Amino acid sequence: MFLSFRRIVKTGFINFWRNGFVSISSVVVMTITLFVIGSLIFLDAMLDASLGLLRDKVDVNAYFVIDAPEESIQNVKQALEGLPEVAAVMFTSREEAYEQFKERHKEDQIELQALNELGENPLLASLSIKAKDPSYYERIDTFLQSDQSTLSSEGSSLVYNVNFNDNKAAIEKLQQVIGGIELFGLVVSIALITVSIVIVFNTIRMAIYISREEIAVMRLVGASDAYIRGPFVFEGIMYGVIAALLTLVSFYPLALWLGPATQDFFGNINLFTYYTAHFGPIFLIIMLTGVLLGAISSFLAVKKYLRT
Amino acid sequence: MIYFDNVSKYYADKSIALREITLSIAPGEFVSVVGHSGAGKTTLLKLLLAEERPTEGAVYFQSTDVHRLKRTHLTRYRQKMGTVFQDFRLLPNRTAYENIAFAMEAAGRVDEEIASDVPYVLDLVDLREKMWNFPNELSGGERQRVAIARAIVNQPDVIIADEPTGNLDPINTYEIVQILKKINDLGTTVILTTHNKGVIDSLGRRVITMDSGKVVRDDASGRYVL
């Protein structure tokens, strides 16, 4: 058993070396495939990051009636934080809202004058709520309209207004856009990956087609199927390993070069930082894909010539 | 040792390759099979090697039906048969030495045996000095000698030679036949197909003559009659 394993490995190496041109072209095709797969991983990460950034900008504000006690608002806040859909809740008191208003409109004398003429602070305390996903806002809105904690001791609602309805159209649109981009990305990825796998498969089939007469001779000499197949599968694995290493190495300068550009374009993500931070999983995905692709393609291609 | 029991072979287009062949070959025999192209000689050998299945009848080797062997046993069985062909069928990417070593590796022999037996059989076919040449660096006669060395290295029970001299000039033909005779003298059964009248007449051994898929003559010490 060990003897034939050693021979299979040795023969695989020799064949790889002696069929130099075929080996190189197979490795090149495989490298391109792995490169496509790797690029899709990066693109997905970039897209995720920028979509995340967009999502982060969305929130819903619940304004409370002017005489709502802060204690009750804090209760609502706690109740909201207990919901699984909610990512974060931020409280803004009436005074803070007043200060923020003045700050925002300090260039705008008319607004400030109008505020001063009112004599008292007309602004309402509010909770700014971020959901884990834009689709949850509807449920949060319902919660605010109906939950016990939002009722005053007399039973009237403390919530003056939830600006969900104002934002609703924008949130739904954003959700559609995000969903669309994600679906599009998935379809494109699947298509590209399928095409590359088919190309690799065909390349390896061609490489083994050249050896079909050799396979016939080996059978005639009395070599077992496993012994004939072994070196081809090993060669396929070698293609995969070399292609994976080439891909991973070529990503390094590329990510370094594209890093600043991606940071500007996609927001808070740098391709190079992402690559170095996620090197382990990326290495595994690329390497495993290469090895499996090489081994399975070779296995199936040889199988064709082993039938009687 | 080899027994064809009423064997017929039809191909898909209804053409008949073999018709009700019954014959037996004893251990140690040197049998020549002659006939025109298309007479069924190669089909006969392919059936014996279990490369093709008979449409009717059965082929026995040492009392086992070779077409009922499982794949793993088939491999064993083929290791008992040494084959030599008109077109040599060497592995082009391997040297003469490696071609012969491959047959031994496939049979699961250890490295020490390979290192001692391969030069020995190369000596037998007088090709030791070309051991590290690739097939495309050898002449037709030399390639055929490598093929014979590969066929005998696992000490098979039978050597099957399908027109081994078809591509060779008279001197090489003579040498190849002498080597086959030597192998037969050492006790191995040899089955030879050929078109070459001179070869048959010089051998003076059993000759089976085939025509249109049938055995028309079977002479113990035959000549080439067609």
Residues A211 and A103 grouped into a single domain: no
Percent of chain A at pLDDT above 90?
A: 9
- Note whether A28 and A94 are same-domain residues: no
Model confidence at A204: pLDDT above 60: yes
Nearest to B102 among A18, A221, A225 (CB): A221
Segment A93-117 mean pLDDT: 77
pLDDT tens-digit readout, A228-237: 899 999 999 9
Residue A160's identity, in one-letter code, is Y
Chain B positions in Cβ-Cβ contact with residue A214 (cut-off 8 Å): 91-93
What is the Rg, in whole angstroms, of the alpha carbon atoms belonging to chain A? 31
Percentage with pLDDT > 90 across chain B: 50
Same domain, residue pair A18 and A105: no
Same-domain status, A71 and A151: yes
**pLDDT, tens digit (0-9, with 9 covering 90-100), for B24-59:** 999 999 999 998 888 889 899 999 988 889 999 999
pLDDT tops 70 at residue A11: yes
Contacts of A3 in chain B (CB under 8 A): 108, 110
Same domain, A101 and A136: yes
Query: Over the stretch B81-140, which tens digit does the pLDDT of each residue have?
Result: 999 988 888 988 889 999 999 889 888 888 999 999 999 999 988 888 999 999 999 998
Question: 């699961």: which residue's tokens?
Answer: B108
Q: What is the tens place of the pLDDT at every residue in B51-82?
A: 889 999 999 999 899 999 988 888 888 888 99
Judged by CB atoms closer than 8 Å, whether chains meet at A3 and B91 is answered as: no
Question: pLDDT confidence of B5, banded at 50, 70, 90?
Answer: very high
**Among chain A residues, CA nearest to B100:** A221
Return the H-helix or E-strand segment holding A128: strand A126-131
On whether both A49 and A180 belong to a single domain, the answer is: yes
Hey, is the C-beta of A169 within 8 angstroms of any chain B C-beta? no
Residue predicted with more confidence, B15 or A163 = B15
Q: Are residues A33 and A70 in the same domain?
A: no
Task: Please count the other Cβ atoms lying within 10 Å of the Cβ belonging to residue A168.
Answer: 14
**Measured between CB atoms, which of B71, B78, B154 is closest to A220?**
B78
Q: Is residue A19 part of a domain?
A: yes
Q: Which residue has the higher pLDDT, A42 or B190?
A: B190
Q: How confident is the model at residue A246 (pLDDT cuts 50, 70, 90)?
A: very high
Neighbours of A268 (CB within 10 A): 10
Assigned domain for A79 exists: yes
- Measured between CB atoms, which of B51, B72, B106 is closest to A218? B106
Asked whether the beta carbons of residue A220 and residue B83 sit closer than 8 angstroms, the reply is: yes
pLDDT of residue B11: 86
Residue B189 has pLDDT above 90, yes or no: yes
A218/chain B closest Cα distance in angstroms: 8
Contact at CB, B89 and A18, closer than 8 angstroms: no
Beta-carbon contacts of residue B28 (< 8 Å; ≥ 6 apart): B184, B187, B188, B189
- Residues of chain A with Cβ-Cβ distance to B46 below 8 Å are none
Domain ends where: A157, A190, A220?
A: A157
CA-based nearest residue in chain A for residue B77: A222
Residues A38-58 pLDDT 10s: 888 888 787 777 777 776 777
For residues A92 and A199, state if they share a domain. Answer: no
Shared domain check, A185 and A248: yes
- Is the pLDDT at A308 greater than 60? The verdict is no
In terms of domains, do A78 and A225 share one?
no
For residue A148, the enclosing domain spans: 66-157
Look-up of token digits 């370094």: A256
B169 touches chain A (CB under 8 A): no
pLDDT at A15 over 70: yes
3-state secondary structure (DSSP) of residue A68 = coil
Q: Is residue A163 part of a domain?
A: no
In chain B, which residues have their Cβ closer than 8 Å to the Cβ of A215?
none
Name the domain boundary from A97, A126, A157.
A157
**Binding-face residues of A in 18-47 toward B, CB within 8 A:** 18-19
The reply to whether A201 falls in a domain is yes
A197 and A284 belong to one structural domain: yes
B26 reaches A (C-beta below 8 A)? no
Instruction: Kindly report the CATH number assigned to the domain that includes residue A92.
Output: 3.30.70.3040
ipTM: 0.76
Q: Which residues of B touch A218 (CB under 8 A)?
A: 91, 102, 106
pLDDT value for A181? 80
Q: β-pairing, B30-34 with A126-131?
A: unpaired
Each domain of chain B, given as residue ranges in start order, spans: 2-219
What residue of A is the nearest CA neighbor of B78? A222
pLDDT at B58: 93
Contacts of B49 in chain A (CB under 8 A): 220
Q: Which fold would CATH assign to domain B2-219? A: Rossmann fold (3.40.50)
- The 3-state secondary structure of chain B reads CEEEEEEEEECCCCCEEEEEEEEEECCCCEEEEECCCCCCHHHHHHHHCCCCCCCEEEEEECCEEHHHCCHHHHHHHHHCEEEEECCCCCCCCCCHHHHHHHHHHHCCCCHHHHHHHHHHHHHHCCCHHHCCCCHHHCCHHHHHHHHHHHHHCCCCCEEEEECCCCCCCHHHHHHHHHHHHHHHHCCCEEEEEECCHHHHHHHCCEEEEEECCEEEEEECCCCCCC
> Is the pLDDT higher at A99 or at B177?
B177
- Residues A112, A190 within the same domain: no
User: A7 to chain B: nearest residue by CA?
Assistant: B105
Contacts A235 to B, Cβ<8 Å? none
A285 part of a folded domain: yes
Task: Tell me which residues of chain A, numbers 214 to 253, contact chain B at a CB-CB cutoff of 8 Å.
Answer: 214, 216-225, 227
Token representation of residue A79: 């109740």
Q: Do B102 and A218 touch (CB under 8 A)?
A: yes
SS3 assignment, position A120: coil
Domains identified in chain A, total number: 2
* Phi, psi angles (nearest 5°) of residue B63: 70, 5
The whole-number pLDDT of residue A147 equals 67
Render pLDDT for A148-159 as a digit per residue (tens, 0 to 9): 666 666 666 667
- Read off the pTM: 0.70
Please say which residue of A125, A157, A189 terminates a domain: A157
Is B90 near chain A, with CB under 8 Å?
A: yes
Specify which residues A217 forms β-bridges with. Answer: none
